[in-house]
Structure formats: C-alpha cells, structure tokens
Amino acid sequence: MSARRDRWLDREAGPVVRPYAVTKGRTAPASGSYIGLIDVVAAVADPQLPADTRLSREHRRLLSHCHQPVTVVDLASDIDLPVGVVRVLLSDLSQYGALRVVATSRGPEPNERVLRDVLNALQTL
C-alpha cells in the first residue's frame, strides 16, 4: 500500500511570499477584464505607452517572455509568479496597449469545432 501522499500537500504550506506586493495590492484586473488560464497573449511590438506610464520590473519581465504568443498559464509557470498576480499585470499591460490577447475562449464550453479538432489530433497522436 503506497503512502497517501499528494504533492499539493507539500506545496500549500505557504505563505512564502506576499504575492500581491508586485501588483501594489490589487487582486483583480483594473479593467474588470477576465483573462483565462489558457488564453493566449503576446507583446505588442514597439507599443506607444501612455505618457505617464511606468512599467515595473515585473511588467517588463512579463513582456520579455511573450514576444511569441504564449498562454497565461505557461507564462506564469515560466516566470514563477502566481496566476492571479500575472493576470493583474497582464491586464495593466493590455490597458497600456503593450499587450494583446491573441486568442481567448469565450463561453463556458469549447465550441464543437475545437472539440473535433482536439479529437482528430488525439487520434493521430
């Protein structure tokens, strides 16, 4: 009988950081926009930032990781920040015009075309 072990147990033992320090305490995107875990984002080349915009170090780190389109969850994993924090920062960047959401799944379920594409792709895997 294997031990009842689950890695969630090991990882939930925080607090290890004050994650929302980098968002200046904001826990939700200012615009109220929702960016999903598997939405794809990409940095805008040569963005015209609003005049008084100051990007934080984390903003710049995020941008540097999404020159190529990348999903939110991959991005969060790459730069080792919690997803909730990444979302707030991405929302900032989107408002500044420095980031665009390339692909987003709208609605509570995938459409049938996506389901069929996934099915076909799995079958040929």
Partner 1 sequence: MHYRHSDAVEAEVMPATAKILIAGGFGVGKTTLVGAISEIRPLSTEEVLSDRSIGIDDTSGADRKTTTTVAMDFGRITFRADLTLYLFGTPGQERFWFMWDELAYGAVGAVVLADTRRLADCFAAVDYFEHRATPFLVAVNCFDDASSYQPEDVRIALDLDPDTPVVLCDARQFDSVKKVLIALVRHAIAKSRANPEYQGRPLPAG
From 84, 86, 82, 18, select the one nearest 58 (Cα to Cα): 86
Residue 50 sits in the site that holds partner 1 (CB under 8 A): no
Taking CB under 8 A as the criterion, the residue among 61, 84, 93, 99 binding partner 1 is 84
Query: In the block, which residue shows the tokens 């109220």?
Result: 32
Residue 38 sits in the site that holds partner 1 (CB under 8 A): yes
Taking CB under 8 A as the criterion, the residue among 44, 55, 73, 101 binding partner 1 is 73
Smallest distance, partner 1 to C-beta of residue 52, A = 29
- Whether 67 contacts 76, CB under 8 Å: no
d(CA 45, CA 100): 10
Distant-in-sequence, close-in-space partners of 53: CB < 8 Å, separation ≥ 6: 96
Q: Which residues bind partner 1 (CB under 8 A)?
A: 2-9, 11-12, 14-20, 27, 36-40, 69, 71, 73-74, 76-77, 81-85, 102-103, 105, 107-110, 112, 114-119, 121-123, 125
